[in-house]
Structure 1
Amino acid sequence: MKRSIPEAFHGSISEGENAKEFIDEIEQYFAKIEKAEMSNLLAKLISMKYKGKSNIREYIMEMSNLASKLKALKLELGEDLLMHLVLISLPAHFGQFKVSYNTQKDKWSLNELMSHYVQEEERLQRDRSESVHLSSTSQNKKRKKTKGVAEGSS
């Protein structure tokens, strides 16, 4: 039974070559592909920035997933490094939280970090909605005062 040769290697083995040399060529080919994939994944992980479009849990899970893919390619990032990459990638409004984490003696696991960030994100959203509510209430009071003054002066 004759085996078919993958398209990328078609014609790459001659009658004089042995199977060992052919296998070495295949290994080199796939090693190049793995290096390129590793570089792409690492570049993506390092350049990620949280923009608030998805929730923070999904964002951290995406970063963790990229780290897992790198681990499968035999480039393992420690959890500490991954946590610092997460911290670095977050926007300025998480600054107070970053300082709080960095001043603690305890180290958190990635799951703990995610849990704390979810709580922080919810707190920030509550603060924003309260701020918007106070702002709109304040503007309504100003409009009523201005309207009352204008009506009283006519």
Structure 2
Amino acid sequence: MKFNGLNFSEWSEQVQFHLGVLDLDLALSTDKSAALTDTSSTEQRSFHKAWERSNRLSLMFMRMTVANNIKSTIPVTDNAKEFMKSVENLSQSESADKSRAGTLMGTLTTIKYDGSRTMHEHVTEMANIAARLRSMGMKVDESFLVQFIINSLPSEYGPFQINYNTIKDKWNVTELQSMLIQEEARLKKQGTYSINLIGQSS
């Protein structure tokens, strides 16, 4: 698993697990000891050597598991624990927010209604995604959200889409949701809805 800016929790768990299995996690769990002197004990020298090895290999391992487009944004350090902290900070930074916003926008523009949930739930989910994008500072006009919802409809809603595109006064999200719930009920009553869904799944 590689850190991509959004998956710090999963990435850090994997890193700590692998380094622990290899007995190389000393530098992540303890701070660097004081510099060795002529009076340092054998135990201190042994710990210092083990820590330096753990630190060096931990840094190499973590850098290998960070996506290339992310590496250049991480501050340079020769301390494994500091590197881990920098990655955590990056995951919470503005660049991570932009990545999340991009993911959410991609979902909003490509999501399709497949009948597995009610129309009310589908429209509500899309409205919630738009609200999350707005909370990140992105502008999502209601007219665009309405059009995204219209575009997410399957073929059995074709007449509904055509009708919407011909009306002069466009609906807001609440009005569109109400109209779609009515259309959902009409299609179910006619049997068109279930027939089309059966055809899609076959």
| TM-score range normalised by the length of the shorter chain | 0.5 to 0.7
Deviation track 1:82-126 (CA, whole Å, cap 9, x = no partner) reads: 000000110010010111111011111110000000000000000
Distance 1:60 1:118 in 2: 10
Aligned to 1:127: 190
Distance 2:92 2:142 in 1: 31
Aligned to 2:199: none
Q: Secondary structure at the match of 1:106?
A: coil
Aligned to 1:30: 93
TM-score calculated relative to the size of structure 1: 0.66
Deviation at 1:32, TM superposition (A): 1.0
Q: Which amino acid aligns with 1:38?
A: A
| Number of residue pairs the alignment of both structures matches | 112
Written as runs of structure 1 = structure 2, the 5 A alignment for 1:37-56 is 37-56=100-119
Q: Which amino acid aligns with 1:78?
A: D
| 2:180 equivalent among 104, 117, 122 | 117
Equivalent residues of 2:90, 2:96 under 8 A apart: no
Q: Which amino acid aligns with 2:82?
A: G
Aligned to 1:82: 145
Runs of 4+ residues over 2 Å off in structure 1:
8-12, 26-29
Aligned to 1:59: 122
Aligned to 2:157: 94
Question: Could you say if the C-alpha distance between residues 28 and 51 of structure 1 is closer, same or farther in structure 2, counting changes exceeding 3 Å?
Answer: closer
Deviation at 1:29, TM superposition (A): 6.2
Distance 2:160 2:109 in 1: 21
Deviation at 1:47, TM superposition (A): 1.3
Distance 2:183 2:189 in 1: 10
Q: Which amino acid aligns with 2:147?
A: H
Distance 2:104 2:173 in 1: 19
Question: Could you say if the C-alpha distance between residues 120 and 104 of structure 1 is closer, same or farther in structure 2, counting changes exceeding 3 Å?
Answer: same
Distance 1:29 1:122 in 2: 44
User: RMSD of aligned C-alpha atoms?
Assistant: 2.7
Aligned to 1:11: 82
Give the fraction of aligned pairs with identical amino acids, expressed as a percent: 32
Please list every run of 5 or more consecutive structure 1 residues that lacks an aligned counterpart in the other structure.
Answer: 1-7, 13-25, 133-154
Distance 2:163 2:82 in 1: 61
Distance 2:90 2:137 in 1: 15
TM-score calculated relative to the size of structure 2: 0.51
Aligned to 1:143: none
Please list every run of 5 or more consecutive structure 2 residues that lacks an aligned counterpart in the other structure.
Answer: 1-73, 76-80, 84-88, 196-202
Aligned to 2:171: 108
Q: Secondary structure at the match of 2:144?
A: helix
